[in-house]
Chain A
Amino acid sequence: MTNLALIATLLMIMALAYHLGLTRSRAVAAEHDVRMHSRPGYYGALVALWCGLPALALFLLWSFLAPQLIDMLVIQQLPADLVAGMSDRELATFLRRVTALANERSVSGGGSSEELAAAAHMARLQTFENLSLVALMAVFAVAGLVYARRNISPHWRARNQVELVITIALAASSGIAIFTTVGIVLSMLGETLKFFTFISPAEFFLGTTWNPRFSTSGTDAQGEFGLLPLLWGTMMVSAIALLIAIPVGLMTAIYMAEYAPPWLRNVAKPIIEILAGIPTIVYGFFALIVIGPFLSSFGDLIGINIRTTSALTAGLVMGIMIIPFVSSLSDDIITQVPKSLRDGALGLGATKSETIRQVVLPAALPGIVGAFLLAASRAIGETMIVVLAAGNNPVLHANPFEAVSTITVTIVNQLTGDMDFASPQSLVAFALGLTLFVITLGLNVIALVVVRKFRQQYE
């Protein structure tokens, strides 16, 4: 029985259990002529939960443990000399091939006789495992159902128990966010530590040369993994982007919040929102086919050599991308500054712009700084625009008209193609990712705390 069918069957049994619980609670109520603690639906739901949850838990535990157990049993019955002659890695490959054979998938080069024998053994074990799982689940489901149904009585607080389960489920969902963060940190930390067994942290963080050398020839020629050129490129592109996005975005927000007539606001706000949602790959393509060539020929015109793909191209387009982000964040912040402050300044005879520059903006400053930090974090983590338009040239230089490379570009370069979690060439992507995560985390947390403080001030 496939897993899907198993779960579907379980769900059907749960539906049945619900119905049984429902009718039983009505019968109990009629029999004793009393009011039950909860409405019949809750008894039904509770019986269904008793029936389904233990079986489901068993299923999850089983699917996690059974394959490992089977692998162990298969290895145990292999000829001892065969196992002894294999490294851990070869053994893993062997098992993978056997698993494929056992599930009637073909493997490259057919299968050796040992592999076929092991596969047959594995297939037998799997059949047995499958049958016992089905049987056990059936027992669990029926036992739960019978137990819960018997227990139905006027005093049983079915609603409270169902609601407890619901609350626990809700709480568990909110834990996923935490698990995601923990997962990000742990997975990247693990791979990064592996990476540091090849390259020392000092070499990575302080190295000024990036030349990972995609050689498979051996481990002695490892290449150089200096972070600094990438970090520098990231900073350069982000700085150019912010240089464009912050003034334009902020002035847009000010105009929208303070000057624009209501109709313009109503039209422009959704447009800005939609712009913020345009995929970055589109901006990247735009950079590549429009902005890059334009800048390059503009450079020719004024006698500067600007490469088509350069820090400037990527930064400029990234700036365009971030404008709506900066402006809608700043707009939110500016409109939160209370009207009474504006009235105070206007009442003294300040012009509108004086009010904005001297009263509104200073009052909104913490929030706006927070918005800028979030924008910076976004620029630093942006990938597709730089992949397409920055030119991938991991060299330390200060010329914005030249190609650069960034952390994100390098992650993509190192991790696309063959994914080999054992070479420093792949693992460095995780070290870079962790660096990126830490930088953006710092910016985000500062920004979020600052913005939150600001909001509380005017709430």
Chain B
Amino acid sequence: MSMTIEQRRQHRLMTIEKSLAKRHRKENRFRRLGLAAVMTGMTLVAILFVSILMRGVPAFWQATFFMDLYFDPEVIQLEEKPERASGESQSEFNERFSAWQTQAGLVNWQSLIDRALEDKLDEDIEPSQLRDLRALLASNERFTLRNKFMDDPSVLGQTVEVKMLASANVDVWIKGNINRDLADARQQLSAQTRAWADQLYDEGIIRNAFSTALFLNMDSRSSPASAGLAGAFMGSLFMMIIVIMLSVPLGVASAVYLEEFAPKNRLTDIIEININNLAAVPSIVFGLLGASIFIGYLGLPLSAPIVGGLVLTLMTLPTIIIATRASLRSIPASIRQAALGIGASKVQTVFHHVLPIALPGILTGSILGVAQALGETAPLLLIGMNAFVANVPSTPFEQSAALPVQIYLWQGNELRNFFEARTSAAIIVLLALMLSLNALAIWLRKKFETRW
């Protein structure tokens, strides 16, 4: 017996030694494969971020005119800006003021811009060239000028340096986002406009300057250079408020019930599976639910943040329930027993002792859920939020865009070489919001992490 063991041991040592090199090679190959997988993932993600940053960051700086503009009293023939007289009722004043506003709207602001440009270019502009000239500036800028004047009518008769956005096509041309050697017919701007743009750029009249238009303006079709995210931002904000107000209390309540009160039976088993399943139901299905129930059946308005908020609430609910339950489950039974042991009721135990301890976990889960809802696009398309809306909603019942949907709309804009950058910029804004929410959640978790 002992001999056979000895023989076996000898045989074994030799056999193993022979194969060792091969096994270690395999080991290394496997480890490298794992590392390669991690690297692949990281590289792809790096490419994603870099490509979006590279395209998007320059869009925060827009080709902008810095030029002197003469507020010609000849052109601006306006009464003085009305002041509210004593003894005048608010409605009377409002009427007077809006009459003044209407008048201001009738002023030919464009001609002021035309004249200033003519000055800068040091050329006489034929009426036939006016089209080319006006192609230089974003078409909305005449309204910017009007608003500037209405805010401060004292500029009348003075020459003031104003800052105005160049048109989208000029922006593209200056930044070289279009092939400058393309034939005339394939260029977006006429040869004349291109020449002017270059001239003004060389003279420093057109400069790349940080533009707040992206943040402060509404979406615009006629003047893409001044299209902004303000409306979409408000829409998303309304929806997030609705999501937070509804899904957090409801989610926490149902998690508390399921984890602390519910009897463990078939029904709660079904609810549990059902919630886990809901968390994995495609978001677009929630959009269908919204379209059919909220819009088709309840008659809520299309494109309104209220509907979007409700749909996203239903979608976020399972995430919050699951996170809250996990958080409640990680609290040791001894805490509950201690409270029950000194005569607290079950409800008191849960609300006074268990929930406060679970709070960080609940908060983290809720933030992650809300961040997810913020980026959700597909269900919003089905409830009409992809409609073009050119104003900032003031209530959740008005038509509105939303950040992710705005990105969807912009990426589909025909003015590709301008909107590619602008869409990327919008994505950067959205990602910045989401990443800060995520970072907040991770920070909260790290800060309050408790090990039992």
Contact residues in B for A183 (Cβ distance below 8 Å): 289, 293
Say if the beta carbon of A356 comes within 8 Å of chain B: yes
Q: Knowing A255-B34, A448-B273 touch, does A188 contact B431 (C-beta < 8 A)?
A: no
Q: Which of A175, A270, A324, A381 contacts B282 (CB 8 A)?
A: A381
**Is the beta-carbon distance between A273 and B438 smaller than 8 angstroms?**
yes
**Is the beta-carbon distance between A412 and B254 smaller than 8 angstroms?**
no
Say if the beta carbon of A281 comes within 8 Å of chain B: yes
Q: Knowing A285-B423, A408-B282 touch, does A274 contact B435 (C-beta < 8 A)?
A: yes
Binary CB contact string for chain A from 437 to 452 against chain B (1 if under 8 A, 0 otherwise) = 1001100110111000
Q: Which of A159, A256, A274 contacts B438 (CB 8 A)?
A: A274
**Is the beta-carbon distance between A184 and B262 smaller than 8 angstroms?**
no
**Is the beta-carbon distance between B381 and A412 smaller than 8 angstroms?**
yes
Query: Of A17-25, A71-79, A286-294, A392-400, which binds chain B?
Result: A286-294
Q: Knowing A277-B372, A351-B26, A445-B277 touch, does A173 contact B33 (C-beta < 8 A)?
A: no
Q: Knowing A352-B27, A416-B386 touch, does A378 contact B285 (C-beta < 8 A)?
A: no
**Is the beta-carbon distance between A171 and B292 smaller than 8 angstroms?**
no
Contact residues, B367-385 vs A (CB, 8 A): 368, 371-372, 374-378, 381-382, 384
**Nearest-Cβ distance from residue B6 to partner chain A, whole angstroms:** 19
Contact residues, B275-323 vs A (CB, 8 A): 275-278, 280-289, 291-293, 295-297, 302, 314, 317-318, 321
Say if the beta carbon of A191 comes within 8 Å of chain B: yes
Binary CB contact string for chain A from 154 to 192 against chain B (1 if under 8 A, 0 otherwise) = 000001100100110111011111101101100110110
Binary CB contact string for chain A from 267 to 298 against chain B (1 if under 8 A, 0 otherwise) = 01010111101111111111011100000000
Q: CB-nearest residue of chain B relative to A270?
A: B442
Contact residues in B for A169 (Cβ distance below 8 Å): 253
**Nearest-Cβ distance from residue A409 to partner chain B, whole angstroms:** 10
B interface, by DSSP: helix, strand, loop or mixed?
Answer: helix
**Is the beta-carbon distance between B24 and A163 smaller than 8 angstroms?**
no
**Is the beta-carbon distance between A177 and B34 smaller than 8 angstroms?**
no
Say if the beta carbon of B52 comes within 8 Å of chain A: yes
Q: CB-nearest residue of chain A relative to B260?
A: A170
Say if the beta carbon of A346 comes within 8 Å of chain B: no
Q: CB-nearest residue of chain A relative to B292?
A: A187
**Is the beta-carbon distance between B431 and A411 smaller than 8 angstroms?**
no
**Is the beta-carbon distance between A436 and B347 smaller than 8 angstroms?**
no
**Is the beta-carbon distance between B253 and A173 smaller than 8 angstroms?**
yes
Q: How far is the CA of A445 from the CA of B275 in the complex (A)?
A: 11
Contact residues in A for B254 (Cβ distance below 8 Å): 170, 173-177
**Is the beta-carbon distance between B407 and A285 smaller than 8 angstroms?**
yes
Say if the beta carbon of A30 comes within 8 Å of chain B: no
Say if the beta carbon of A248 comes within 8 Å of chain B: yes
Query: Of A102-110, A215-223, A382-390, which binds chain B?
Result: A382-390
Task: Give the residue among B35, B41, B375 with the most A Cβ atoms within 10 A.
Answer: B41
Contact residues in B for A251 (Cβ distance below 8 Å): 33-34, 36-38
Contact residues in A for B331 (Cβ distance below 8 Å): none
**Is the beta-carbon distance between A289 and B51 smaller than 8 angstroms?**
yes
Q: Which of A176, A188, A349 contacts B250 (CB 8 A)?
A: A176
Contact residues in A for B24 (Cβ distance below 8 Å): 351
Q: CB-nearest residue of chain A relative to B404?
A: A281
Contact residues in B for A288 (Cβ distance below 8 Å): 411
Q: How far is the CA of A278 from the CA of B433 in the complex (A)?
A: 11
Q: CB-nearest residue of chain A relative to B282?
A: A381
Say if the beta carbon of B150 comes within 8 Å of chain A: no
Say if the beta carbon of B31 comes within 8 Å of chain A: yes
**Is the beta-carbon distance between B261 and A353 smaller than 8 angstroms?**
no
Q: Knowing A173-B253, A381-B284 touch, does A430 contact B292 (C-beta < 8 A)?
A: yes
Q: How far is the CA of A427 from the CA of B87 in the complex (A)?
A: 61
Place the interface of chain A in its size category: 35 or more
Q: Which of A177, A252, A260, A278 contacts B275 (CB 8 A)?
A: A177
Contact residues in B for A415 (Cβ distance below 8 Å): 287-288, 291, 381-382
Binary CB contact string for chain B from 346 to 361 against chain A (1 if under 8 A, 0 otherwise) = 1100000000000000
Say if the beta carbon of A421 comes within 8 Å of chain B: yes
**Is the beta-carbon distance between A170 and B284 smaller than 8 angstroms?**
no
Q: Knowing A255-B34, A411-B382 touch, does A286 contact B48 (C-beta < 8 A)?
A: yes
**Is the beta-carbon distance between A440 and B280 smaller than 8 angstroms?**
yes
Binary CB contact string for chain A from 415 to 441 against chain B (1 if under 8 A, 0 otherwise) = 110010100000001100100110011
Say if the beta carbon of B165 comes within 8 Å of chain A: no
Say if the beta carbon of A377 comes within 8 Å of chain B: yes
A interface, by DSSP: helix, strand, loop or mixed?
Answer: helix
**Nearest-Cβ distance from residue A354 to partner chain B, whole angstroms:** 7
Contact residues, B20-48 vs A (CB, 8 A): 23-24, 26-27, 30-31, 33-38, 40-41, 44-45, 47-48
Say if the beta carbon of A344 comes within 8 Å of chain B: no
Say if the beta carbon of A453 comes within 8 Å of chain B: no
Q: Which of B41, B257, B292, B435 contacts A170 (CB 8 A)?
A: B257
Q: How far is the CA of A173 from the CA of B313 in the complex (A)?
A: 13
Contact residues in B for A252 (Cβ distance below 8 Å): 34, 37-38, 41
Binary CB contact string for chain B from 388 to 417 against chain A (1 if under 8 A, 0 otherwise) = 000000000000000010011001000000
Say if the beta carbon of A320 comes within 8 Å of chain B: yes
**Is the beta-carbon distance between B288 and A411 smaller than 8 angstroms?**
yes
Q: Knowing A259-B34, A288-B411, A419-B302 touch, does A327 contact B41 (C-beta < 8 A)?
A: yes
**Is the beta-carbon distance between A412 and B372 smaller than 8 angstroms?**
no
Q: CB-nearest residue of chain B relative to A289?
A: B420
Say if the beta carbon of A338 comes within 8 Å of chain B: no
Q: Which of A248, A353, A416, A421 contacts B30 (CB 8 A)?
A: A353
Q: CB-nearest residue of chain A relative to B446?
A: A270
Contact residues, A207-245 vs B (CB, 8 A): none
Q: How far is the CA of A160 from the CA of B348 in the complex (A)?
A: 11
**Is the beta-carbon distance between A187 and B289 smaller than 8 angstroms?**
yes
Say if the beta carbon of A247 comes within 8 Å of chain B: yes
Say if the beta carbon of A133 comes within 8 Å of chain B: no
Say if the beta carbon of B160 comes within 8 Å of chain A: no
**Is the beta-carbon distance between B250 and A171 smaller than 8 angstroms?**
no
**Nearest-Cβ distance from residue A8 to partner chain B, whole angstroms:** 15
**Is the beta-carbon distance between B253 and A248 smaller than 8 angstroms?**
no
**Is the beta-carbon distance between A188 and B347 smaller than 8 angstroms?**
no
**Nearest-Cβ distance from residue A56 to partner chain B, whole angstroms:** 16
Contact residues in A for B94 (Cβ distance below 8 Å): none
Q: How far is the CA of A176 from the CA of B271 in the complex (A)?
A: 10
Q: How far is the CA of A290 from the CA of B52 in the complex (A)?
A: 9
Q: Knowing A353-B27, A419-B291, A441-B277 touch, does A412 contact B284 (C-beta < 8 A)?
A: yes
**Nearest-Cβ distance from residue B213 to partner chain A, whole angstroms:** 21
Could you name 15 residue pairs across A and B whose Cβ atoms are closer than 8 Å?
A: A160-B345, A167-B257, A171-B262, A173-B251, A174-B257, A277-B368, A281-B407, A281-B408, A282-B375, A282-B407, A286-B51, A289-B55, A290-B48, A411-B288, A412-B381
Lowest 4 CB-CB distances: which A-B pairs, in order? A381-B282, A279-B375, A255-B34, A251-B37
